[in-house]
Structure 1
Amino acid sequence: MLATPLGLLADRIGRLPVVLGGYSALAVVYLLLFGPFGGTALLVVVLALYGLFYASTGGMLMALAGPLLPKPLRSNGIALIQTGQVLSYLVSSVVFGLAWTAWGPAGASRIAAAAVVVVAAVLVLSLLLRGIRATKVTDTVRIVEEQA
């Protein structure tokens, strides 16, 4: 139900903001799981946010990666990325289960929320730094010579 509206939104505002919004929804899911709330309302909100996460990240990752892959290798590249994504979900599910067993639901949820927030922060930082060109030593020398 959400994939098409989010796809239209991505066409309008860009794919990356939609993906970041999806990961933000996932962070909120984990935060809500160990919060003071409970009951049916929490279940409905968490399931809706988790659906939002899946709808805004699953296909959007392929849409982000597709144009970056060479045309002759695009299908294989997308398949490889999808395989990596699924294997990552498998590993993270096992690790989350181990954390749940070791530290309980609240501890595992806190760790997962922190991990999602860190990943989102790295993505946002990479967006902010995208336009900044690394300064080379030769550029610094040229600037100093011009000022002299």
Structure 2
Amino acid sequence: MAGALGLLTIGDGFIYLSLQARDGFATQWFPLLYVGTNVAYMLLAVPAGRLADRVGRARVFVWGHAMLAAAYVCAAFGGVSGVTTLAALALLGAFYAATDGVLAAVVGQSVAPQVRASAIGTAQTVVAVGRMAASAAFGVLWYSLGRQPAIVCVAMLLAVAVPVSWFALRRSAPAADDEACATAVDVEAGTTAP
């Protein structure tokens, strides 16, 4: 699932270029887009981790991709306004907060302790390769169709992939995720699971 969603995750630079083309701000402000995304990530990483421990890590991972789709929509359709730029940066930061550390936690809970680090490294590699392929394909799409149609196309594909992933997640292992959530809540409350 993570690898498939990675195939619909374009590089941040494309989003930033789209925001710049749409809003027409000076090139000197371009690096601040990275800063804005990182500030949002920094503020949301711990709350996203806590939420993942409470409601399920894989669920939060999928929700993070819904935030990414919303960031794509802001980049494609927002008016000439700093508000939609800030919203896109906040949503992009929220996406990273809900996926980066959470992916490691999802993989870590689903494999034997002896291979946990290898499994996490493999999952991160699969996602990174998927994102690299997505960025290359998106570059071709941008060149062929133009900025806005390319982003809309990827946003629509991601909007379909998120519910499909959600459905697959609910069918595959709801009991294991619920058990992990219950254990996390018990630990946080200072009790032990039976």
Fold equivalence (TM over 0.5):
yes
- Mapped to 2, the partners of 1:110 and 1:59 lie a distance apart of 28
Does structure 1 residue 127 correspond to structure 2 residue 169?
yes
Task: Determine the structure 1 residue equivalent to 2:71.
Answer: 29
Task: Determine the structure 2 residue equivalent to 1:87.
Answer: 129
Greater relative CO (CA pairs within 8 A, separation 6+): 2
Does structure 1 residue 63 correspond to structure 2 residue 105?
yes
Does structure 1 residue 15 correspond to structure 2 residue 57?
yes
Aligned-residue Cα RMSD (Å) equals 1.6
Give secondary structure in 1 for the equivalent of 2:79: coil
1:4-27: CA deviation from partner (whole Å, max 9, x where unpaired): 111111112221231122111111
Query: Structure 1 length as normaliser, TM-score?
Result: 0.81
Structure 1: gaps of 5 or more residues = 132-148
Name segments (4+ residues, structure 1) moved above 6 Å. none
Give secondary structure in 2 for the equivalent of 1:2: helix
- Mapped to 2, the partners of 1:11 and 1:49 lie a distance apart of 21
Code of the aligned partner of 2:89: L
How many pairs align?
131
1:54-79: CA deviation from partner (whole Å, max 9, x where unpaired): 11011111111112122221111111
Once the two structures are TM-superposed, the CA of residue 36 in structure 1 deviates from its matched residue by 4.8
Task: Determine the structure 2 residue equivalent to 1:146.
Answer: none
**Identity percentage of aligned residues:** 31
Code of the aligned partner of 1:30: Y
Task: Determine the structure 2 residue equivalent to 1:51.
Answer: 93
Residues 35 and 47 of structure 1: CA distance in aligned 2, closer, same or farther (over 3 Å):
same
- Mapped to 2, the partners of 1:67 and 1:128 lie a distance apart of 17
- Mapped to 2, the partners of 1:65 and 1:51 lie a distance apart of 22
- Mapped to 1, the partners of 2:127 and 2:63 lie a distance apart of 18
Task: Determine the structure 2 residue equivalent to 1:144.
Answer: none
- Mapped to 1, the partners of 2:81 and 2:139 lie a distance apart of 22
Once the two structures are TM-superposed, the CA of residue 34 in structure 1 deviates from its matched residue by 2.1
Structure 2: gaps of 5 or more residues = 1-42, 174-194
Does structure 1 residue 116 correspond to structure 2 residue 166?
no
Report the structure number with the largest CA radius of gyration.
1
